[in-house]
Amino acid sequence: MQIRNIIKNVTPKSISTILKRIVIGYDVNTYSFSQGGEDVILKNIFWNKIVTKTNGFFIDIGAYHPVKGSNTFLFYNHGWNGINIDPNPYTINLFNKKRKRDINIQAAISDKEEESTYYYYGETFSQNSLSKEFMQKFGNSAPAKEMKINTFRLETILNQHSHKFNQIDFLNIDVEGLDYNVLISNDWNKFRPKIVIVEIEGITIDDIIKDKSSIFLKQNQYSFYTRVPMGKISSAIFIDERIS
């Protein structure tokens, strides 16, 4: 009897939804792809662009995955495009397959252009990093593998691709302990996103505003907007004070 009821409830529509989930890789009714709902906050900020179907542009540094835990995929689904940067070749291969409108770059961003050591546990591990200190503090207890890579300043990458965009709607940074190094590698007079999202250790507002990334952004006329706490780390969102 139970099996018969299950069969009766399997409609062509539900089969279609299941098949789409298998083929596409996510539920078509998903309204948020971010780890903590950051994309919903951003969607509210950019609501006028969304409802008027005006395309926008994003930069995602430490992009990790084209869909899972992504702060940009919701916007990609609304027709936006942008630049995704990650040192992991596996990650960039996924982006090239699933985010073909985007510019996908295998690179590491830092304040110095030099050869650095990239610490990683595997292709799909979310907390690979250039920071050995971060890996020891938040990573797996097993020893990480090491790979030599070249680092680039953010302004170098953006100068190379500046013909692809007129303005940057938001910049997302998630590089596991080195977000500040990415921030100071940008030319903030030339490349000014309306919104900046960075990871900051701590969960209280006091933790956020005392952090060096927050202080740097305030010095460059960005105000703290809100934060999304996740464990011992928060995604902190800042808005350009120059926006009228």
Q: What is the pLDDT of residues 230-239, one digit of tens each?
A: 988 899 999 9
Same domain assignment for residues 163 and 60: yes
Q: Tell me the per-residue pLDDT of 184-201, one tens digit each, with 9 for 90 and over.
A: 999 999 999 999 999 999
Q: Which helix (H) or strand (E) holds 97?
A: helix 89-98
In a shared domain, residues 92 and 52: yes
**Alpha-helix runs per DSSP H in 148-231:** 154-160, 179-183, 205-210, 212-219
Which domain range does residue 82 map to? 31-240
Q: Say yes or no to pLDDT of 10 above 70.
A: no
Residue 177 and residue 182: Cα distance in Å, rounded? 10
Q: What is the mean pLDDT of the chain?
A: 85
Query: Considering just the CA atoms, what is the radius of gyration of the chain in Å?
Result: 19
Clarify whether residues 208 and 223 are in a common domain: yes
Same domain, 5 and 91: no
CATH code of the domain covering residue 104: 3.40.50.150
Identify the pLDDT of residue 53: 94
- Say yes or no: 8 and 121 in one domain: no
Instruction: Judge if 22 and 70 occupy the same domain.
Output: no
DSSP state of 124: T
